[in-house]
């Protein structure tokens, strides 16, 4: 056990040691690959640097199997916010870590990731702020801001196809948060890139953002998405099945897209998704006096009236996925945790104490669904019934930002 150390330097050293021990047991580090030739195509991050990804090559029976995982990181909905992202890892590959840890669905250990451990596993870094949908040709010389998410998607896919993905026999496109949304928006197009006889499916982890009003009664998240689509000129790159019948910004909500998808999709989401509670239901602009502050940090701090409001949010979420329960094309693991992204971390993906539904951990549910061992569709009972949850507890300054 890692115990409390009271001096600052000793605590930092001990934290580093504990982290390395944990990594040795549960994960491994993978180096970065820059798609340098993409610059000539204008397929670049917000600052003009090349897109990047991390790849762990497959082995044994998984040599022709591909898992492509899209990183999350919110959105930048206007030039000011995009300029702020530009100097971070979510806007520049120059700011990205040269190595990152692979665990959970990206683990290379069979006991931690039994169905995908020996596949080619790629984590595509997120540096465009539009869930890989933007494509603005003009560059304002006053800020040199590149809004080219769609081109980044294409450049990375072309690079992976050349590295062997064109021969894929099995493939899974997955993603977390805004990357989970991107996995939905690009799912059918990903299917079209691969051989017709390949088995291709998609997984969205914490990417099922719903069109719910905030606690003040305003359409806050809808306004954000409208600004994203407008700023990045994303409309032309969103699913035509959706944009042909409604305004493009509404096509950022999966509930308006998934019914028309022809590629099989698995939805992994917490009904009380911590990002959506903090940013969709109770964003700061809707709570100027901070009544939701401590509730958003830790669900155990929520008052009875706040929990009632969150139960209403859960009902809206379940209504948005309800029609999918009868679809043979969809799988589902909707637990009642206060969490966001449960596939990338070993403790929630597959461990002795991982979250379960019907005694089934997430890794087994996804694996059984992908390999057609079961048609997994489970929805949890309301909070606080699920004792297997790993509910997030945030620090006082730890807030996700759009």
Q: Is residue 17 part of a domain?
A: no
Indicate the DSSP class of residue 120. Answer: E
Note whether 296 and 304 are within 8 A (CB). no
> Is the pLDDT confidence value at 304 over 70?
yes
> Is the pLDDT confidence value at 303 over 60?
yes
**C-alpha dihedral (318, 320, 326, 328), degrees to nearest 10:** -110
- Among residues 313, 200, 216, the alpha carbon closest in space to that of 266 is found at 200
The CA distances from residue 317 to 108, 313, 335, 372, in Å, are 33, 6, 12, 26
Least confident of 20-34, 125-139, 230-244, 351-365: 20-34
Task: Check residue 323 and give its pLDDT.
Answer: 87
- Among residues 164, 27, 179, the alpha carbon closest in space to that of 108 is found at 27
Q: How many domains does the chain have?
A: 1
C-beta neighbour count of 13 within 10 angstroms: 12
User: How far apart are alpha carbons 301 and 294 in whole angstroms?
Assistant: 6
- Please report the beta strands in 35-93, taking only residues with DSSP state E, as ranges in sequence order: 52-56, 65-70
Q: Is residue 202 part of a domain?
A: yes
Supply the CATH number for residue 187's domain.
3.40.50
Q: Is residue 115 part of a domain?
A: yes
> Is the pLDDT confidence value at 55 over 80?
yes
Residue 399 pLDDT class (50, 70, 90 cuts): low
Q: Is residue 389 part of a domain?
A: no
Q: Is residue 395 part of a domain?
A: no
Q: Which residues are known to be catalytic?
A: 177, 273, 340
> Is the pLDDT confidence value at 24 over 50?
no
Q: For residue range 247-270, list pLDDT tens digits in order.
A: 999 999 999 999 999 999 999 999
Task: Check residue 13 and give its pLDDT.
Answer: 53
Q: Is residue 250 part of a domain?
A: yes
> Is the pLDDT confidence value at 23 over 50?
no
Q: For residue range 166-180, list pLDDT tens digits in order.
A: 999 999 999 999 999
H-run or E-run covering 149: helix 149-162
Q: For residue range 105-124, list pLDDT tens digits in order.
A: 999 999 999 999 999 999 99
Burial of residue 389 (number of CB atoms within 10 Å: 0-12, 13-18, 19+): buried
Which residues constitute the domain of residue 318? 25-379
- Among residues 303, 312, 66, the alpha carbon closest in space to that of 213 is found at 312
Q: For residue range 210-241, list pLDDT tens digits in order.
A: 999 999 999 999 999 999 999 999 999 999 99
Q: Is residue 171 part of a domain?
A: yes
> Is the pLDDT confidence value at 277 over 80?
yes
Q: Is residue 370 part of a domain?
A: yes
């Amino acid at each position: 056990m890692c115990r409390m150390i009271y001096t600052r330097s000793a605590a930092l050293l001990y934290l580093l040691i504990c982290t390395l021990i944990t990594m040795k047991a549960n994960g491994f580090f993978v180096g970065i690959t820059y798609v340098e030739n993409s610059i000539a195509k204008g397929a670049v991050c917000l600052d003009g640097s090349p897109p990047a990804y991390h790849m762990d090559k497959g082995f044994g029976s998984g040599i022709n199997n591909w898992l492509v995982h899209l990183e999350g990181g919110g959105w930048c909905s206007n030039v000011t916010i995009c300029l702020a992202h530009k100097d971070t890892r979510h806007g520049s590959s120059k700011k990205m870590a040269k190595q990152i840890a692979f665990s959970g669905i990206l683990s290379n250990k069979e006991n931690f990731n039994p169905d995908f451990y020996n596949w080619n596993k790629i984590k595509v870094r997120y540096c465009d702020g539009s869930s890989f949908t933007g494509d603005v040709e003009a560059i304002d010389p006053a800020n040199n801001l590149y809004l080219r998410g769609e081109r980044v998607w294409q450049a990375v896919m072309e690079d992976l196809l050349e590295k062997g993905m064109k021969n894929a026999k099995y493939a899974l496109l997955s993603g977390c948060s805004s990357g989970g949304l991107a996995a939905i928006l690009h799912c059918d197009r990903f299917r079209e890139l691969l051989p017709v006889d390949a088995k291709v499916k998609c997984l969205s982890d914490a990417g099922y953002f719903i069109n719910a009003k905030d606690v003040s009664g305003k359409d806050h998240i809808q306004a954000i998405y409208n600004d994203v689509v407008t700023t990045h000129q994303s409309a032309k790159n969103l699913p035509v099945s959706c944009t042909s019948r409604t305004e493009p910004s509404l096509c950022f909500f999966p509930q308006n897209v998934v019914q028309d998808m022809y590629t099989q999709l698995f939805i992994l989401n917490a009904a009380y998704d911590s990002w959506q509670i903090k940013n969709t239901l109770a964003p700061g602009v809707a709570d100027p006096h901070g009544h939701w502050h401590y509730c958003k940090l830790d669900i155990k701090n929520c008052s009875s009236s706040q929990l009632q409001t969150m139960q209403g949010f859960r009902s809206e979420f379940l209504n948005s996925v309800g029609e999918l329960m009868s679809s043979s094309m969809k799988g589902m693991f909707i637990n009642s945790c206060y969490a966001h992204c449960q596939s990338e971390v070993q403790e929630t993906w597959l461990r002795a104490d991982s979250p379960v539904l019907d005694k089934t951990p997430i890794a087994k549910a996804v694996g059984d669904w992908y390999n057609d061992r079961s048609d997994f569709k489970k929805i949890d009972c309301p909070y606080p019934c699920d004792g297997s949850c790993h509910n997030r507890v945030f620090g006082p300054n730890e807030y996700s930002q759009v």
